[in-house]
Chain A
Amino acid sequence: MSSAEGTSAPAVLAANRISKSFGEIPVLFSIDFDIKPGEVHAIIGENGAGKSTLIKILSGIEQPTSGSITYDGETVTLPPDGKAEAMGIVLIHQELNLAEHLTASESIFLGREIKRFGFLDLGAMRSKAAELMDTLHVRVDPDDRISTLSVADKQMVEIAKAISRDARVLIMDEPTAVLSVSETQTLFEQIRRLTARGVAVIFISHKLDEIMELADRVTVLRDGQLIATVGTEALTPDSIAQMMVGRELSNLYPPKHEPDVDAPVVLGVRNLAAKGVKDISFDLKRGEILGFAGLIGSGRTAVAEAIVGLSHRTGGDITLDGKPVNFTQVAQSVDAGLAYMTKDRKGKGLLLNMGLRPNLTLLTLNKHIKAGFLDSSSEERALERAVRRFDIRARDASVAVGRLSGGNQQKLMLGKTMESEPDIIIMDEPTRGIDVGTKQQIYHIIAALAAEGKSIILISSEMQEVIGLSHRVVVMREGRLTGVLEGAEITEAEIMRYAAGIKSGNDERISA
């Protein structure tokens, strides 16, 4: 690790008491952050802790609501739209921003093409790109199309692009999320080469072991607050996990209603395989809330979509009440009493340009047909019921649901899902991006449903939520099931160990 610069070196980029609110909702509270030349500074925190907002502010994409940014010791206002790149601050997004049809060399010089007599100097760009690749020890030909490259190589092209712009601060948002172990090692070597040249690197990662390996300092965020900035040598993966999650549970969650141990298994999954899912087996009992924890991209949604027939299942068996089932279309699983509520309420859950009524009944429109025609009064009654049951608040029912708050959208989507009167409900991130009051309402609805005898799979990246509601917790990592936790084992640190790959189901138990 290149901590040679020491703590006394002046910071190249610093954030001073940065706060940020989106509308009424504060997401960052008075954050101090700085990075020195040649340093690797990791930012870590749970989903929603404010990491992405912080790096967006550090790269100029978002402006802070209050506080200031200093660059080279001078207070600056970073220009938005990535124009901070010209100043040497480059952000590499998680979903890489490369045009798939261009070649590597075209990508590197995109927007800053080398020209001769007004025409593109292809030769000069190609040789300059080749030179860059050489210094980075990357084996990508400047003429390779981006679309033919592996994700790792695309990342290298992004890095080459950053270097060609004389980046002094390189910010990477979860660069290793999509990389294999060996690709990750190559990336790390690259980062070390850059820091040796004095480039400052900020990176976000959920993988604690990587942070221990690469970072000089770690900044921990939680709920938009700065918890600590600590030198890596003073940390262990466990202590980082503790800092990330150290929060007590309030009565946000309803008291847990222990399910009957002898309750029958309503959903059995054996050796499920699909795209992004490897060999998943679990049982769901009647009246149980089964939490699914794991990092984003760990395959939890893929499991749900493979079960209900939204995506193609390549292997494994599914039983419903002991009977084997094979859903190839969502309609079949809905008919069988198994409903999936998507996490993407704007992209997959609701028709944003339409009113409440058509959204509520879209999944179950057949129930509102009389003699071949839609029975709007029956739909109206359904909406009245749902509004009452789920406390959906709207100015009037004709307002486009895109104008509702996230919480009301979520409640409407819950209402839509429950219209199909399912026995088993898979809820994917049911409280994503909604305020805490609505969260609490949804938690109580979930608990009440389970108490009624419905069985619930709760996929959530908010660990407190999984812990506060679930009777058992399945932890996934990279498409596999790494552990099933029960009772007192369900703690944030324990889940984090399985989710981050420090522990897996086959390991001996390590006591915290």
Chain B
Amino acid sequence: MSVSAPDIPAKPKRGFRLDLKTVGPLLALALLVLLGISLNENFLSYNNLTNVLARSSFIGIIAIGATFVITAGGLDLSVGSMAAVIAGVMIMVMNWLIPTMGIGWGVVIAGMATGILLGGVAGVFNGTMITRGRIEAFIVTLGTMGIFRSLVTFLADGGTLSLNFQVADVYRPVYYAGLLGVPWPIIVFALVAIGGEVVMRYTAFGRYCAAIGSNEQVARYSSINVDNVRLLTYILQGVLVGVAVLLYVPRLGSASSTTGVLWELEAIAGVIIGGTTLKGGYGRIWGTVVGVVILGLIGNILNLQSLISPYLNGAFQGVIIILAVLLQRGRKNA
């Protein structure tokens, strides 16, 4: 487009720093891959890579939802507990349906539908309390985090809810099989990521999320229905938790009070490492994908070498998160 004479005093040209902000996560990812290759020749093997990516896909799908929530200036701490309770209820529903529906895909599909529906309902609850109840997102989702966690413990009676073995056998391929050698979780993760990127960049909803996170007042004065957009982000988050869970259940075929513990923090960490601003106003889905993969690779690389204890995984992840935010801030002050 044509713009007339510059209005701003000369300032440094698009420099290294701006690029760092954009490609920073990619650069970190590349460094990790190089490190992995140099440490262990098995790193690049098909088995290792699909394993890392498939494990990352649960957090990844949840983190894509979290990117919308955080971009719109919100926060959802309940996703890990929500995943656990959805997994538990899914398993109970499938077990309960076996007598009427028999063993087969019918039961599994009913279970999947239950999972997605439950996620949506949980999102509606979180979002409604936050927008209509005017309670801080942090507080609402801290509350539901406790509620969901306690519910799954109650449903499992303090133990483990296990899926009927025969149904589990039917369901198994959803995690372990794939298309052209790519496991389903990775395929779904990729599809959700592409869809998320498109929604974030090329729809009014994505634009409104960024506007609300950037300045809620401006959004309101620009005739955006702030409450509805916010509510939608939480519903989307819930549905995506449901999607992640229906890929997760066939992996172990069980749920307990320890399912999904700390997933919320891993998801938020992935979002932040990817370059989305924690206080809202700017979000990018591809960054989140990179961020989640970085977190997965750190654990993987620690397992592939023998110099450093893999128990330090959390410490390395923590360092990466802090570094990511430091780099973001460095750019702002520049």
Query: Is A353's CB under 8 angstroms from B6's CB?
Result: no
Per-residue contact bits, chain A 350-391, to B (CB 8 Å; 1 contact, 0 not):
111110001000110110010011101000100110010001
Q: Which residues of B contact A352 (CB under 8 A)?
A: 214-215
Query: Is B204's CB under 8 angstroms from A351's CB?
Result: no
Query: Is B218's CB under 8 angstroms from A349's CB?
Result: yes
Query: Is B281's CB under 8 angstroms from A393's CB?
Result: no
Is there a chain A Cβ closer than 8 Å to B329's Cβ?
Answer: no
Q: Which of A253-302 contact B (CB under 8 A)?
A: none
Query: Is B218's CB under 8 angstroms from A351's CB?
Result: yes
B47 to chain A, nearest CB (A): 39
A376 nearest CB neighbor, chain B only: B202
Is there a chain A Cβ closer than 8 Å to B307's Cβ?
Answer: no
A344 nearest CB neighbor, chain B only: B217
Is there a chain A Cβ closer than 8 Å to B225's Cβ?
Answer: yes
Query: Is A358's CB under 8 angstroms from B207's CB?
Result: yes
Give the complex CA separation of A387 and B201 in angstroms: 23
Q: Which residues of A contact B207 (CB under 8 A)?
A: 358, 362, 365, 374
Is there a chain B Cβ closer than 8 Å to A74's Cβ?
Answer: no
Given A353-B214, A374-B202, verify A348-B221 contact (CB < 8 Å).
yes
Query: Is A310's CB under 8 angstroms from B221's CB?
Result: yes
Per-residue contact bits, chain B 277-301, to A (CB 8 Å; 1 contact, 0 not):
0000110000000000000000000
Give the complex CA separation of A372 and B225 in angstroms: 18
Q: Which residues of A contact B5 (CB under 8 A)?
A: 393
A332 to chain B, nearest CB (A): 8
B32 to chain A, nearest CB (A): 29
Query: Is A354's CB under 8 angstroms from B217's CB?
Result: no
Of A353, A362, A392, A397, which contacts B222 at CB under 8 A? A362
Give the complex CA separation of A36 and B224 in angstroms: 55
Query: Is A331's CB under 8 angstroms from B217's CB?
Result: no
Q: How many residues of B contact A (CB 8 A)?
A: 30
Given A353-B281, A374-B202, verify A393-B224 contact (CB < 8 Å).
no
Q: Which residues of B contact A399 (CB under 8 A)?
A: 8
Given A354-B214, A387-B1, A394-B6, verify A330-B204 contact (CB < 8 Å).
no
Is there a chain B Cβ closer than 8 Å to A405's Cβ?
Answer: yes
Give the complex CA separation of A394 and B220 in angstroms: 26
Query: Is A347's CB under 8 angstroms from B217's CB?
Result: yes
Query: Is B7's CB under 8 angstroms from A397's CB?
Result: no
Query: Is B220's CB under 8 angstroms from A387's CB?
Result: no
Query: Is A374's CB under 8 angstroms from B203's CB?
Result: yes
Is there a chain A Cβ closer than 8 Å to B210's Cβ?
Answer: yes
Q: Which of B4-56 contact A (CB under 8 A)?
A: 4-8
Query: Is A384's CB under 8 angstroms from B1's CB?
Result: yes
Give the complex CA separation of A373 and B3 in angstroms: 26
B208 nearest CB neighbor, chain A only: A365
Is there a chain A Cβ closer than 8 Å to B306's Cβ?
Answer: no
Give the complex CA separation of A394 and B1 in angstroms: 11
Q: Which residues of B contact A89 (CB under 8 A)?
A: none
Interface centre among A362, A374, A403 (most CB of B within 10 A): A362
Interface centre among B7, B218, B224 (most CB of A within 10 A): B218
Q: Which of B223-258 contact A (CB under 8 A)?
A: 223-225
Q: Which of B162-210 contact A (CB under 8 A)?
A: 198, 201-204, 207-208, 210
Q: Which residues of B contact A342 (CB under 8 A)?
A: 221
Query: Is B204's CB under 8 angstroms from A365's CB?
Result: yes
Is there a chain A Cβ closer than 8 Å to B83's Cβ?
Answer: no
Is there a chain A Cβ closer than 8 Å to B333's Cβ?
Answer: no
Query: Is B225's CB under 8 angstroms from A393's CB?
Result: no
Query: Is B223's CB under 8 angstroms from A391's CB?
Result: no
Q: Which residues of A contact B72 (CB under 8 A)?
A: none
Is there a chain B Cβ closer than 8 Å to A396's Cβ?
Answer: yes
Q: Which residues of A contact B198 (CB under 8 A)?
A: 373
Is there a chain A Cβ closer than 8 Å to B211's Cβ?
Answer: yes
Query: Is A393's CB under 8 angstroms from B7's CB?
Result: yes
Is there a chain A Cβ closer than 8 Å to B2's Cβ?
Answer: yes
Q: Which residues of B contact A340 (CB under 8 A)?
A: 221
Give the complex CA separation of A396 and B225 in angstroms: 30
Query: Is B6's CB under 8 angstroms from A348's CB?
Result: no
B69 to chain A, nearest CB (A): 18
Of B2, B218, B282, which contacts A350 at CB under 8 A? B218
Give the complex CA separation of A354 and B215 in angstroms: 11
Interface centre among B3, B211, B281, B282 (most CB of A within 10 A): B3
Of A344, A353, A372, A394, which contacts B3 at CB under 8 A? A394
Is there a chain B Cβ closer than 8 Å to A445's Cβ?
Answer: no
A372 nearest CB neighbor, chain B only: B203
Is there a chain B Cβ closer than 8 Å to A164's Cβ?
Answer: no
Q: Which residues of B contact A348 (CB under 8 A)?
A: 215, 217-218, 220-221
Give the complex CA separation of A416 and B220 in angstroms: 14
Query: Is B211's CB under 8 angstroms from A351's CB?
Result: yes
B277 nearest CB neighbor, chain A only: A353
Per-residue contact bits, chain A 214-235, to B (CB 8 Å; 1 contact, 0 not):
0000000000000000000000
Q: Which residues of B contact A (CB under 8 A)?
A: 1-8, 198, 201-204, 207-208, 210-211, 214-215, 217-225, 281-282
Sort A-B residue pairs by CB-CB distance and give the 5 closest, nearest first.
A331-B223, A330-B223, A393-B7, A395-B6, A362-B222
Question: What are 10 A-B contacts with C-beta separation under 8 Å?
Answer: A330-B221, A330-B222, A331-B223, A351-B211, A362-B211, A362-B219, A363-B223, A393-B5, A393-B6, A403-B8
